[in-house]
Every structure is written in C-alpha cells, then in structure tokens.
Amino acid sequence: MKAHTKETQATMTPQKALQFLKEGNERFQNNLRANRNLLQQVNQTTDGQFPFATILSCIDSRVSAELVFDQGLGDIFSIRIAGNFVNEDILGSMEFACKLAGTKLLVVLGHTSCGAVKGACDHARLGNLTKLINKIEPAVEAVNEPTDENLRNSSNLDFVDKVAAKNVEMAIDNIRKESPILKEMEEKGEIKIVGAMYDISTGSVSFN
C-alpha cells in the first residue's frame, strides 16, 4: 500500500475517510494488517504529506491511532494528550491539519479504563497533573448516574467509561465552540467531526 498523494487526498470525502478508519480497525481486530512497506512510504513522503484524517487521542500506550486504525506513514495527523481534551494549541494543530493540510475527518478518540479520566473521577492532585485533571473534571460532573458518591470514583469502571465518553462529547462541543474555522468547515461539508471510543479489551473502535 502506497502513501497518500495530493491526488488521492483530493478524491477523499469525509465519509470515505471515516470508512477508511473503520476498515482499518477491522483489519487491526482481525490481525490482518494492510501490506505496506514503511521504508518505501518514507521515500514517498519525502517531498510532502497528504493525510486524510486528524485524530486526537490519549497518550495511553495501548491506544496508538496509527496501529488501531492500521494506517501508515503520511496517512493521519495524530495529536495525543492525556485525557484527549482540547486547548488552544491543540485547536491550532487541528486547524492547520484541516484547513491548510487538507484532512477531511477530525476524530476525538477516547478509550475505556482511561487513567486520566480515573484521576478526574477521584479528583486527584499532583503537580502539573492537577491542571490537566481540572480540564477533565467537567465531564465527571456532567455524568448524572450513579448519584451515590461512593460509586463515583475510579473503582467503578462503568462510571469511568461513561465519563470518558462524555469527555469525548464535550471535547467535540469545545472544538465547534472555540474554533470558528473548524465549525465553518464542518457546516460546509468540507470536514466531518466525530467522536469514538476504543475498547482496550477487544481492540474495537465504536464511533458516535
């Protein structure tokens, strides 16, 4: 499989880009990786890159977007931060990726048993990590069930995963609210913004 070119990127649509990721995750789950020569792709991308998707995901070592979607060099922009939330720098990176570099799909990818989300559920406090966790805590408050405070912590993995999904949803809301550029591109149909959750126990990605 060759690296994407300006021509192949130009034929890509938001829906087609989403289908590419879904098919890639199917291959990943079935251990049927696409046949690609990465060293050849190094040579093919020497003079430029033409990715079709931008993916914001967590730093979790089990959740590499390139691997779980079976993509090669030059296929996707990968933005990673613990808890996959957005800030000004990440929004700027997304605007570059979509508006200037031509990606058609923007994905916010959360995952089950997320450590950053667990920290937010427990309201953990530790150095600079405190500020990061503060950015995820609104998702904790936004999940109404369970109401029993004894069940609203990291020991309740069902609650953790609900918060992780809500965190993805809120990140997408923030993208549309804080980036007029991306919002306008989505409204014009130039890009699609979607949320997804990766299951660390099965390798499957479910899209919202």
Enumerate the known binding-site residues for Zn(2+).
58, 60, 111, 114
- CA pair distance 89, 79, nearest whole angstrom: 10
- CA pair distance 16, 29, nearest whole angstrom: 20
Scan for tokens 């890639």, then name that residue: 24
- Residues tagged in the binding site annotation: 58, 60, 111, 114
- CA pair distance 86, 88, nearest whole angstrom: 7
- CA pair distance 76, 191, nearest whole angstrom: 14
Closest CA to 67 of 51, 81, 78: 78
- CA pair distance 54, 150, nearest whole angstrom: 38
Residue 129 DSSP SS3: helix
DSSP 2: P
